[in-house]
Structure 1
Amino acid sequence: MQYLFLEQAGEHQLTLEGGEHRYIFKVRRHREGEIIALRNLRDASIYFYEIVSLTKKEAMLVLEKSEILSVVVQKKLHLAWCVIDPKSVEKVLPSLNEIGVEAITFIYCNRSQKSFTLDFKRLEKILLNSSQQSGRSSLMKLSLGDSLEDFLEEYPQTVMLNFSEQMLTASSDVSTVAIGCEGGFTNEEVALFKSENIMGLETPLILKSETAVCAVASKILL
């Protein structure tokens, strides 16, 4: 763990109770007198606190110093991801966060199962845990879009990942990509994109949606 997320990080004095106390002192085994790093993920600062008091139920921390330390990837990538099984999203979300995806807008596309419901509070908790482990200093933005058409109105240069002779490469000047769900995009959805904005990956294999999203993120950001 690179730091502990706490909304109050930055205040001069903090008291840790409950889950934060258990994790720091029973899992991480920190002791009185040690220094621990905290972030609030609202700013780029990392805050270093001394553990000045420790009991079985709570710990008191005092701010020793802080420094601006932005840990983000240089490129930006916004994914428009057609809704798939939330369990599959939850499995790959930590990887996408560690790769450095800036934002994901989930969209119910024509072939998305409307019975799938995303639990954004649960997804945010997954992102927090991933960020603490990877050191990422900003939280990925998650949202639910109204439709693919509306998304394209706001982001007209979006590239669709689909079968194409035009390949998406590491040098492609792409910052927004639409990824289909199981079964891919319908003909009506493909028709929404200009031909030059439809790109594929250099593989003859059919990828699952969650595999494709990781492949695209890795291709562009790593």
Structure 2
Amino acid sequence: MPHTFFAPDLTLPAYTLPEDESKHAVRVLRLGLGDAVELVNGRGSIFQAEVEVADAKRCRLRILHEQQVPRRAYQVHLAVAPTKNLDRMEWLVEKATEMGVDTITFLRCARSERRELKLERLQKIAVSALKQSGQAWLPELTELTDFAQFLPTVAAETTFIAHLAEGERTPLSHVVAHGTGCCILIGPEGDFTPQEIEAAFARGIRPVTLGASRLRTETAALAAVHTVHVARELQ
């Protein structure tokens, strides 16, 4: 398999890797004249290319072929309250990107232990996972958003809240098999508050369950993404 590089600003017919990527390509990967590489722009295009100038500061690639990968017929939006341990969110971003998620919104909830979040490292992890998994579409990661401000921005009929409070809940797999997309709300380590759950209900957002087990925040979020994909494949 050829090595893959992320090239969000790629223009035909050639592309010069940034200096850090050029150094990695030439000195670490030992790529030389004519070696095959792959480029992905995160917006659906995968390019086959070859090394035209093997320079450690300005490695130039000649584009040979472009493949346009269409988006899925449905979109997956994950809205999750980040955990106190940032490593768990890094793991989630990596695995959700590999699995295929379109948007990750980070929620600031009443019980959130993490009140601030820097996206730069999470975005780098998403890019790395994109390259590793062969995905063509880079997910959009959004800044921390207050739960109350987020609710009015989503379509109630395709948004679902996974909570642990008492009450009737429908299995997520039963409600996401159709339509053009969905948004799943996953709460913090202490779960959503009763007030937050009621606010979601008031907007017409329906409660769902991911199974009988009590899952960690990041596990529940990844399980939700996987459940949506499986439900769509089985329809």
Q: Which range, TM-score by smaller chain?
A: 0.7 to 0.9
- Provide the alpha-carbon RMSD of the alignment: 2.4
Report what 1:202 is aligned to. Answer: 211
Match of residue 48 from structure 2: 48
Match of 1:214 among 213, 219, 222: 222
Alignment partner, residue 187 of structure 1: 194
The runs of 5 or more residues in structure 1 that have no matched partner are: none
Give the structure 2 partner of residue 175 of structure 1. 182
Give matches, 1:42-121, under 5 Å: 42=43, 44-70=44-70, 72-85=71-84, 86-114=86-114, 116-121=115-120
* TM-score, normalization by structure 2: 0.81
Q: Deviations over 1:10-44 (max 9, x none)?
A: 332333353212332344443311221212224x3
Q: What is the TM-score with the length of structure 1 in the denominator?
A: 0.85
Q: Which residue of 1 aligns with 2:160?
A: 159
The structure where helix makes up a greater share of residues is 2
Residue in 2 aligned with 1:11? 12
Q: Distance in 2 between matches of 1:147 and 1:17?
A: 36
Deviation, structure 1 residue 124: 0.8
Describe how 1:125-144 pairs up with structure 2 within 5 A: 125-144=124-143
Task: Percent identity, please.
Answer: 25
Pair 1:111–1:3, CA change in 2 (3 A): same
Structure 1 residue ranges, 4+ long, deviating more than 6 angstroms after superposition: none
Once the two structures are TM-superposed, the CA of residue 170 in structure 1 deviates from its matched residue by 2.6
Query: By how many angstroms is 1:94 displaced?
Result: 0.7
